[in-house]
Amino acid sequence: MRIKILGSGCAKCNRLEQLTREAVAELGIDAEFEHVRDMDAIMAYPVMTTPALVVDEEVKVYGRIPSKDELLGWLR
């Protein structure tokens, strides 16, 4: 599984990455993480605001930090 966090590295972006890593560890999933900070690369995705979570090239959420239950559901 490839997971991308889209965002400049702000507190919300870092929090989203932390929560997602915790969810991956809880589920015991093998995942590769990438934190995309380049604005041109972020604009290639259909997101209007960051932070954003992309799982296997599918945008799951943007503009907010999802609950842990949401994250677990998307990663199952």
The CATH number of whichever domain residue 48 belongs to comes to 3.40.30.10
pLDDT tens by residue, 10-47: 999 999 999 999 999 999 999 999 999 999 999 999 99
The pTM assigned to this predicted structure is 0.95
Instruction: Report how many domains make up the chain.
Output: 1
What pLDDT is stored for residue 33 in this prediction?
98
What mean pLDDT do residues 43-65 have?
A: 97
Residues 25 and 14: their CA atoms lie apart, in Å, by 17
Measured in whole angstroms, how far is the alpha carbon of residue 22 from the centre of its chain? 12
Residues 20 and 6: their CA atoms lie apart, in Å, by 13
Active site residues: 10, 13
Query: Which residue range is the domain that position 24 belongs to?
Result: 2-75
Residues 72 and 76: their CA atoms lie apart, in Å, by 6
Mean pLDDT (the chain, rounded): 96
